[in-house]
A and B are shown apart, each in its own frame.
Chain A
């Protein structure tokens, strides 16, 4: 594969150096410079809102109504206030718990579904497949009201409102992830599974010890997007939580910000606190995350 790419590149360079006159070279040089300038300008547009957010979060209440870009005396007092006097730490915990529960569940079940549809033949397989496929066409908005009615009064047990299960249940298995994993499971050789069967490996063992390790990169991508999606999820957690202590970070931030009206320094502190963990994760794993998006085309 690498050799192939290298060959292509060599061919490309050959074509370029053979056929381009000096004026074309100069033109290319110019285009490169213009590209960098435009990319830098665009890049600034992407970053400025975050800089302004962090800058405001370090200003005092009086200073936000002066037009200096950076605080004259940067302070962490706002952070101290938000962390110790509000429910932010609790919202962090809630978001983390919900995101972990659903991510573990999604990765396990979606991979298992993918494995079954790629590697087994059984009666009604096509019916099951179509049934799962059909759920992809339904927008979540349509399910919010039925889910809410169901959560208030579940068939068994007490209300799911203001519980972790209530926040997490709509997303513990995803059809899109299952189809994604099926694609990757198709690449697992049947011979390997048959060899396992001859050696007396159980069917679950085949999944767990042969199929899972072989599709691990896809599972990792699925896990990252699912975690991102759940961490940032808004409309369902907004509907199913009313107790302040059970809110997730986006719901809490929205609640906190509406409550604090014009205290932009506090709102920006809350915003910074809620985007910071994911930004750090992104900076650390950006290559893998971007590769994963390109690979799967999944929207977080």
Chain B
């Protein structure tokens, strides 16, 4: 029996405790990451006997597809950015508005918070199908309401010009609760004393909002903007469930990068190209995160 010093014993235990977690991170996180890069350099078909190394051919193909205005890949990237550009600010503005309203009231504030949060705990798949039904032509809720008021029927998900916005609305609706809670936590962090000082200086409500709330909420805004941008960039569940046969239609108007990844890898079995797409997605997420963090932290 070897006797260990107290320090040695603690080091030993630290390694024992970390043994399983490190195995997990190495084999289930880090190696698959490297593997994704590796697969993207192959013509990888899981049904084939052997996978041939093709160098950067998949990336070259991706680059060509991005130039080609008819390619689905290009549509997927354009749409994905559109989801971010429309959805993220919309979600932040509405959520901040509701959070400020909730801050004004005392009675029922817990109740309202719960109501706004409710959609967030439900599954995106169920929500997608519920809204798909709401959007149905003629018998869907929205069209029933429209015709009740004598307004013309809208195709919503069935028209290439409306489908993307219709889906964005659902994502915004479902994610509101989360953003509201984070904003409320951020608002609570702002020391009351700043508002008191502003009141003494004769600031109006709007001025208090502009010169106290917004600057002091900066960290929360950055946090949420980054988080929501990333989740819009990864859009998949809604699109596959809200479009006919999950094809990102009509006419590819709603398809996203992740949906392309899924189709290329698991319908066309072109895993090399699909992996190149995921690497591109990874690069975009990385760049956008860095830009947003830089941008917001210099505003102040």
Contacts and interface: CB of A to CB of B under 8 A. Distances in A.
B29 A135 contact: yes
Contacts of B73: none
A278 B121 contact: yes
Interface string B232-247: 0010110011000110
A122 B102 contact: no
A287 B111 CA distance: 10
A36 B11 CA distance: 58
B11 A122 contact: yes
Interface in B11-36: 11, 13-15, 17-18, 20-22, 24-26, 28-33, 35-36
B263 to A, nearest CB: 12
Contacts of B6: 197
Nearest to A28: B104
A157 interface: no
Interface string B254-279: 00011001100110000100110011
A175 interface: yes
Interface string B190-208: 0010001001100001000
B122 A67 contact: no
B36 A137 contact: no
Given A49-B131, A253-B125, A39 B36 contact: no
Interface residues of B, number: 98
A50 B118 contact: yes
A132 B17 CA distance: 15
B241 A254 contact: yes
Contacts of A289: 117, 121
Classify the secondary structure of B's interface with A. helix
B21 A113 contact: yes
A300 B246 CA distance: 24
Interface in A14-65: 15, 19, 31-32, 35-36, 38-39, 42-43, 45-50, 52-53, 56, 64-65
Interface of A: 8, 11-12, 15, 19, 31-32, 35-36, 38-39, 42-43, 45-50, 52-53, 56, 64-65, 67, 109, 112-113, 115-116, 120-123, 125, 128, 131-132, 134-135, 137-150, 152, 169-170, 172-173, 175, 178, 197, 203-204, 207, 228, 231-232, 234-235, 239, 249-251, 253-254, 257-258, 264, 267-268, 270-271, 274-275, 278-279, 281-283, 286-287, 289-290, 293-295, 297, 299-300
Given A149-B39, A170-B28, 9 more contacts: A46-B119, A67-B144, A121-B10, A122-B14, A142-B281, A228-B121, A235-B258, A250-B237, A254-B125
6 contacts: A43-B112, A43-B116, A47-B118, A148-B265, A232-B122, A254-B241
